Structure 1
Amino acid sequence: MEILKTMKLSIRAIALMACAGAAVFSTQTMASNDSFKLRLATVEGDKSSPIGKSMELWADLIKEKSGGRIKTNIYYQGELGSQQEMFDQLVKGNIDMMITWPQTSYDQRLGINNLPYLVLDWENALKAYGKDGWLRKAIDPIYNEVGLKYFGPYPEGFGGIATKDVQASTVDEARGIKIRSQTFFPLPQTVNALGYQAIPIDWNEVYTSLQTGVVDGDGSNVIYWDYEYFGDLLTHYTHTKHNFSAAALIMSQESWEELDEEDRRIIASAAEVVITKQFKDARAEEEKWIAKAQEGGMKYIDVQGTQLNDLVSRVREEIWPQAEKSFGPEVMETIRTNAPLPQ
């Protein structure tokens, strides 16, 4: 694989990749006795975060399973650029692998994973996202069409709305509260459907935006991110559970195709270990950080019962028809057939 592509890399990406070394692959298929390096990156987490630790596990397993032939350079928390920039470079093959949330600029259907109230509890999530889950099967061919190899989901838990000095328990109370949202469909639309004013902002700009009052809070993240990274600013976390936060372990199809079958097996099997472990850890992590945030002084509001069911019905009625225009009727039929009904 050549590091020079027709699309220019950002200055940061060029500098960092130069430090990592130039091209690691040739344009020929790599044999399983060749030594080479992969580039693995994320936008969201630093080295000590769950994603950071999972990237290290993935890299360590690849090195171990290959007998040390395949080494991995890891780039944390947007070191190679913004979310969109890095996803672009992944598709181009300038970054080999990522644990990240896909950008829908290439195919709106990649937003299927972010559809609000797609699952309603952990049991639903395990059924949908597990190795043979209906949602995992639906997502795989979409990634392939974009030019990415999809290994599986990286579940974190159920998202909510974290706020600074204000809090809303109803759609009406949320009016006028400015909430940062991830930039891709349908997350800003979902935040709006909950009653807030969604302001799409990249992850690496959230802290400054909260400090300066550009936004009053952060939306759609699990409580870990809001407490650990913005806990000195945010005071409330309303657990609306409107999205099940699951990133993806993905690889450039170009990089994947340049590997032989043995090395593909090594990388895929290492990814499956990471995914399986994360499914086991995610629920406990969610509960741990809810407790830790409360101990640290953040007020936690758990939306449930009739109030939650009302939000499920309202948000689905508003967002799912919009999604059908982007995802297509076939995908939405699969979702409507399998998604759980509010109780």
Structure 2
Amino acid sequence: MTRTLLVCGTILAGGASAAAAADCEVTLRSADTHPNGYPTVEAVRWMGEQVKEKSQGRICVEVFPASELGEEKDAIEQTQFGVIDMVRASFGPFNNLVPETQIVSLPYIFRSAEHMHHVMDGPIGEQIAQGFAQHDLVVLGYYDGGARSFYNSKHPIKSVDDLKGMKFRVMQSDVFVDMMSALGANATPMPYGEVYSSIQTGVIDGAENNQPSYDTSGHAEVAKFYTLDEHLIMPEVLAVSKISWDKLSPEDQALLKEVGAASVPVMRELWNAKVAESEAAVEEGGAEIVRDIDKQPFIDAMAPVYEKYVSTPEAKELVEKIRATE
């Protein structure tokens, strides 16, 4: 008997993907906010190919990009309830749900992307995965969210003073809101899909994100000034619903874990190539990238953010562990 883990309780009618899914005993539906071709989307597709091959066609992964299954926050909630089987999401929306994600979402907590990889691929990553498990999400791996930087439609940002009074979209996270306040700017939490029109109409002056997102979202068209302040090097998570997970056999669970972990270096290789491609594309399109910037004043401005979120012994211990990781 064919067993399909369904999205919204229905099988999509028609089309090649629906026909392919019908050939599988189990079809896992995976949500992503990014478009086709984006490293996270393609890494999960690669994972799906591996799962199908290694399960001899029994298990399929069907990826829904470009927020087809809802914006990030909604997709996360649907995955927790088992309506969606898998989700790739940034740590930002989890900050108010999984306390450990707040610490690794702090500005300038990571020295580099390599430092972040070493932290998330080791015992600290395992500790954070336990936090996700308490909210019915099984971590398959940690992807790259790149280095997030500021961009806007008004003027180049070369110092902290250039941010004063400006309105920036941030993810729906208290850490992000407090970060903007510490820099003298105004935070406007909103879904990713609303950013383009909000900049275009002047509801906000800009946003902050990595270079591939700045490029593929079209935000470079309406916000021409991008500053490489790299205030956040934030991990992302690929997770499966506990409800969907519990329907799998132990052998299939082990396979999903194995292939999920194997997709991480694939994603990171795709990511590095995409960063270089996006940087060239936005400059060719007329965006101005500010590279020569003194980050120390930005780092110094984060003191009240750390004071607020690193106040418990557990949080202080986690920060020390991260900083001690080579």
Structure 2 residue 260 is the aligned partner of structure 1 residue 271? yes
Give unmatched runs, 5+ long, in structure 2: 14-23
* Correspondence for 2:323: 339
After superposition, the C-alpha distances for 1:195-242 in whole angstroms (9 at most, x for unaligned) are 3211111011111111111011111x1011112222211211111111
**Mapped pair 1:41 → 2:28:** no
Change (3 A) 1:38 1:122: closer
Partner of 2:16: none
Residue 69 of structure 2 contacts residue 75 of structure 2 at CA under 8 Å; is this kept in 1?
yes
Q: Does 1:254 align with 2:240?
A: no
Q: Secondary structure at the match of 2:35?
A: coil
Provide closer, same or farther for how the CA distance between residues 216 and 170 of structure 1 changes in structure 2, counting only shifts above 3 A.
same
Return 5+ residue gaps in structure 1 as ranges.
Answer: 5-12, 22-33
Q: Aligned to 1:78, what secondary structure does the other structure show?
A: coil
Percent identity for Structure 1 against Structure 2: 22
**Could you say what the CA RMSD is over the residues aligned between the two structures, in angstroms?**
2.4
Q: What is the aligned length?
A: 310
Give the counterpart letter for 2:12 in structure 1: A
Q: Counterpart of 1:31?
A: none
SS at match of 2:231: coil
SS at match of 2:69: coil
**Secondary structure class of the residue paired with 1:331:** helix
Give 3-state SS (helix, strand or coil) of 1:154's partner: strand
Distance in 1 (alpha carbons) for counterparts of 2:212 and 2:310: 31
2:20 matched residue in structure 1? none
The equivalences for 1:12-161 within 5 A come to 14=8, 18-20=10-12, 35-42=25-32, 44-102=33-91, 103-104=93-94, 105-129=96-120, 131-132=121-122, 134-161=123-150
In 2, Cα distance between equivalents of 1:313 and 1:127: 25
3-state secondary structure, aligned to 1:159: strand
Match of 2:17 in 1: none
What TM-score, normalized by structure 1, do the two folds share? 0.82
The equivalent residue for 1:288 is: 277
Task: Output the CA distance in 2 between the equivalents of 1:154 and 1:96.
Answer: 18
Distance change (3 Å), C-alpha of 1:120 and 1:194: farther
Amino acid at match of 1:270: V
Shift of 1:100: 0.8
Q: Which secondary structure does the structure 2 equivalent of 1:48 belong to? A: coil
Structure 2 distance, partners of 1:128, 1:38, is 29
CA distance in 2, matches of 1:318, 1:94: 39
Q: Identify the residue that residue 313 of structure 1 maps to in structure 2.
A: 300
- One-letter amino acid of the counterpart of residue 205, structure 1: E
In the alignment, structure 1 residue 228 sits paired with structure 2 residue 232: no
Structure 1 counterpart of 2:223, one-letter code: L
TM-score in terms of structure 2 length: 0.86
